[in-house]
């Protein structure tokens, strides 16, 4: 979690059903150490209570412009104080008022007086979202000091299915804070490649994809734009099967990347002639011979290709871990190598935990003690980018 110590976050809530979700958003900012102030429109109070918001934000909740506690006009002082200003959920009504400079409540007045970026997260019925007037108004705001955090598709509270659901709270949070990997593009491969023998059989390995998924989750939490290429099903991944497919997918995305994590267990060999039909037993023969040919070494080929990315390889060794790993980082030419000892049953392949050594190109080796793959992923990012987060 990043630190927002000393920062004031202003959250404007308007009158939509997604207003209840903002209770959790307040907690996210509080957990990060921010001073959170909340303004609600009068309609928002039909969905959440002032008491709930006051308790969560540990501040007075402002509704009315004329409810002034001290000599300063509230719409000016709230605008001046806020380091981050989010309006979520933003209804079609408030969006249209903002786009037209209408200041008929405290929230719209503060927004009008705010000169920095305003993060606007719309949420509404899908037909309202498609309405040309609303789209025109959003376009106008996007050309000004507003950053629009587009709604997602799915089941809507009104019973319709379509675009209009408030985007994930993590999306709002990550967009508004300065995360250490914000703006960085990171490609991560996960899982073991699958090399077909015939339409029903294949050669593969025990990789579960868990380490790659943990890396992808952490990279996203640190603000990176992640391209996940996996052989194992995952909602955010580009799914591939064989080493050749993985190579093509990696090369297609390579040029724009700031870092590549080759966590996948790529098969070194594939079957030379994959059978088009299921292989049958042959009467009188107790053996079958499969000829294997070498797969391309994806990691080595990206290290040899012109690129601007930090390249991180992973190696799985069943003996002589560090000696093999030291040789491998030189042979492959990557910047870092994460070495796994697969002789141990409690860590590595398929397990939820891992214990690794992080080899640097300059010869340094750091041991990352046994922990969940999520914690290992955090440690890897911390060490590569010298991230110091609370
Ligand atoms: N790798 C790759 N393409 C291959 C084989 C491996 O990109 N054809 C990558 C893996 O994703 C990993 C690193 O190379 O990041 C090391 O993988 P590993 O299986 O430990 O090493 P190999 O190169 O296969 O060497 P060996 O099997 O001889 O130990």
- Taking the complete model, does pTM exceed 0.95, yes or no? no
Beta carbon of 334 within 6 Å of any ligand 1 atom: no
Domain identity same for 232 and 328: yes
Domain identity same for 326 and 254: yes
Domain identity same for 344 and 312: yes
Residue 192 lies in a domain: yes
CATH code at position 199:
3.40.50.10300
Angle, alpha carbons 139-144-148 (nearest 5°) = 55
Domain identity same for 166 and 197: no
Number of domains the chain is built from? 2
265-279 residues labelled b (16+ CB within 10 A) or e (exposed) = bbbeebbeeeeeeee
Residue 390 lies in a domain: no
- Judge whether 352 and 332 are in contact, CB under 8 Å: no
Domain identity same for 315 and 361: yes
Q: Is the pLDDT of residue 390 over 80?
A: no
**Which of 176, 204, 229 lies at the terminal end of a domain, its last residue?**
176
Beta carbon of 262 within 6 Å of any ligand 1 atom: yes
Residue 213 lies in a domain: yes
Distance CA 9, CA 214 (A): 29
Q: Is the pLDDT of residue 71 over 60?
A: no
Q: Nearest C-alpha to atom 12 of ligand 1 is from which residue?
A: 314
Q: Is the pLDDT of residue 305 over 60?
A: yes
CATH code at position 56:
3.40.50.1950
Distance CA 296, CA 303 (A): 13
Q: Which atom of ligand 1 is nearest to the CA of 324?
A: 29
Q: Is the pLDDT of residue 228 over 90?
A: yes
Q: Nearest C-alpha to atom 28 of ligand 1 is from which residue?
A: 268
**Which of 158, 176, 194 lies at the terminal end of a domain, its last residue?**
176
The 10s digit of each residue's pLDDT in 360-382 is: 999 999 999 999 999 999 999 99
Residue 166 lies in a domain: yes
Which residue, 53, 5, 51, is CA-closest to 25?
53
Domain, as residue range, for 125: 8-176
Beta carbon of 222 within 6 Å of any ligand 1 atom: no
């Amino acid at each position: 979690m990043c630190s927002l110590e000393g920062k004031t976050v202003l959250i404007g809530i308007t009158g939509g059903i997604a207003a209840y979700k903002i209770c959790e958003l307040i907690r996210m900012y509080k957990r990060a150490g921010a001073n959170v102030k909340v303004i609600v429109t009068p309609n928002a109070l039909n969905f959440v209570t002032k008491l709930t918001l006051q308790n969560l934000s540990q501040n007075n909740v402002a509704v009315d412009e004329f409810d002034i506690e001290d000599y300063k006009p509230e719409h000016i002082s709230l605008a001046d104080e806020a380091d981050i200003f989010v309006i979520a959920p933003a209804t079609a009504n408030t969006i249209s008022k903002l786009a037209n400079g209408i200041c008929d409540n405290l929230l719209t007045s503060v927004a009008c007086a705010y000169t920095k970026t305003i993060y606007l997260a719309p949420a509404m019925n899908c037909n309202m979202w498609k309405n040309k007037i609303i789209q025109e108004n959003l376009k106008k705001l996007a050309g000004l000091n507003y950053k629009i955090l587009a709604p997602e598709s799915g089941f809507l509270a009104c019973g319709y299915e379509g675009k209009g659901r408030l985007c994930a709270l993590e999306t709002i949070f990550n967009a508004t804070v300065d995360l250490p990997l914000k703006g960085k593009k990171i490609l991560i491969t996960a899982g073991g490649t699958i090399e077909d023998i015939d339409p029903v059989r294949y050669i593969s390995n025990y990789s579960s994809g868990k380490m790659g998924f943990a890396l992808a989750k952490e990279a996203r939490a640190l603000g990176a734009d992640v391209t996940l290429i996996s052989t194992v099903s995952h909602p955010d991944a580009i799914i591939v099967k064989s080493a050749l497919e993985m190579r093509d997918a990696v090369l297609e995305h390579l040029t724009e990347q700031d870092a590549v994590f080759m966590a996948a267990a790529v098969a070194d060999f594939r079957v030379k002639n994959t059978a088009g039909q299921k292989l049958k037993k042959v009467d009188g023969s107790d053996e079958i011979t499969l000829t294997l040919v070498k797969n391309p070494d994806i990691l080595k080929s990206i290290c040899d290709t012109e690129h601007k990315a930090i390249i991180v390889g992973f190696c799985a060794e069943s003996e002589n871990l560090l000696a093999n790993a030291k040789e491998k980082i030189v042979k492959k030419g990557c910047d870092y190598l994460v070495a796994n000892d697969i002789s141990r049953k409690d860590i590595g392949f398929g397990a939820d935990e891992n214990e690794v050594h992080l080899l640097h190109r300059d010869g340094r080796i750091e041991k990352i003690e046994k922990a969940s793959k999520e914690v290992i992923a955090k440690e890897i990012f911390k060490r590569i980018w010298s991230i110091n987060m609370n």
